[in-house]
Amino acid sequence: MIGRRAARAALGLAVSGGFVWLILRAVPMPDLAAALGSARPAWIAAACGCFALGYSCRILRWRQMLRAEGAQVSFGRAAVPFMASVAANNVLPFRAGDVLRAFGFSAWLGARSSGVVATLLVERLLDMLALLLALGLALLWLDLGGTDAQRLLGLGSGALIALAAVIVAMLVAPRLFEAPVTRAIVRLTAGRGDLAARASAAMANLFRVMRAVTGGARALALLGWSALAWAAEAGVFYCVARSLPAMTVPDAAWLAMPVGTLSTLLPSTPGYIGTFHYFVIQAAQIPGNPAAAAAGFAVLSHLVLWLSATAVGGVCFGIFVLWRARPDARREVTE
């Protein structure tokens, strides 16, 4: 296990290093520094406001899912583990923040870890759906159906539509996927003692929670919160683009947001150094922005997102540590 994690960490470091090298080879540092130095503070402040709005919507979405699972948490009670996990993902490898949120905050939330894991899966599906739709809308808005955009994305509009349709089906009708997924898990764990039974039980619980949190009108509300959250995230990119005078086509931000976010699925260092920047730069250049301006846009967008989330998440983790130190912490459940 340790060897596998070391190999993953080495791969992520190598991939990030490769993309950083590509960026430095294409963009002279003095030009990048000049682009960053020209940033207008008012637009950066607006970007930070969009960040706060977007993450508030994400927290409200997660709170709704937790409440559907029986955890009667307040906004603040949901915000602490959510932001702490984002900060942990920004500074620790192997998506440690997701593990922390799923298993480290059960007493704080008054929820079972299995239920929290299921809410994380639904959250990922909602985010992927929103990103695919945002990507499709950006391609239409910027009229980028040509080879440059398709080469960057690695897929066309038909593939985007197919992926979005699968995700919608999983959210609206999880029962359709329960039986085939359970059978696949049983086959993969065959001959391993009671592992198959435990895996089947875990899948049954997972799909039970998915049905609970996405049932009825709740699915529409979750989709609404997702749309607001990702619209605000796109607003971060747009405000950063407007802050840089050399970004002659600031509307490129609408493409850079989904492309840059999807690039975080690639192996990389914590904080997605290199991978995020490279793909945001490429997306910003497609509509015609200069390379130095695109690089400044990528660096500044990353700083706004990374610094804001890490700072807020660090404070939230401190609140959790102080709460854990209380003798009655594990018995406390806040409405």
Q: What is the pLDDT of residues 206-219, one digit of tens each?
A: 788 778 877 777 88
Q: Report domain extents, the chain.
A: 26-327
Residues 6+ apart with CB under 8 A from 167: 125, 128, 129, 132
pTM assigned to the model = 0.88
- Whether the per-residue pLDDT at 34 is higher than 90: the answer is yes
Report pLDDT for 333. Answer: 47
pLDDT in tens, 298-317: 999 999 999 999 999 999 99
pLDDT category, 324, cuts 50, 70, 90?
confident
48-62, 147-161, 265-279, 288-302: which has the minimum mean pLDDT? 147-161
- Whether the per-residue pLDDT at 293 is higher than 80: the answer is yes
Residues 6+ apart with CB under 8 A from 333: 72, 110
**How far apart, in whole angstroms, are the C-alpha atoms of residue 161 and residue 147?**
18
Q: Which amino acid is at 233?
A: E
pLDDT in tens, 121-139: 889 989 999 998 888 888 8
**How far apart, in whole angstroms, are the C-alpha atoms of residue 233 and residue 55?**
8
Tokens of 215: 């049932």
- When the pLDDT of each residue in the chain is averaged and rounded to a whole number, the result is 86
Q: Which residue reads 């809410």 in tokens?
A: 119
**What does the H/E/C string look like for the chain?**
CHHHHHHHHHHHHHHHHHHHHHHHHHCCHHHHHHHHHCCCHHHHHHHHHHHHHHHHHHHHHHHHHHHHCCCCCCHHHHHHHHHHHHHHHHHCCCCHHHHHHHHCCHHHHCCCHHHHHHHHHHHHHHHHHHHHHHHHHHHHHCCCCCHHHHHHHCCCHHHHHHHHHHHHHHHHCCHHHHHHHHHHHHHHCCCCCCHHHHHHHHHHHHHHHHHHHHCCHHHHHHHHHHHHHHHHHHHHHHHHHHHCCCCCCHHHHHHHHHHHHHHHHCCCCCCCCCHHHHHHHHHHHCCCCCHHHHHHHHHHHHHHHHHHHHHHHHHHHHHHHHHHCCCCHHHCCCC
Report pLDDT for 184. Answer: 83
Report pLDDT for 89. Answer: 94
Helix (H, G, I), strand (E, B) or coil at 266: coil
Report pLDDT for 332. Answer: 52
CB 167 within 8 A of CB 128: yes
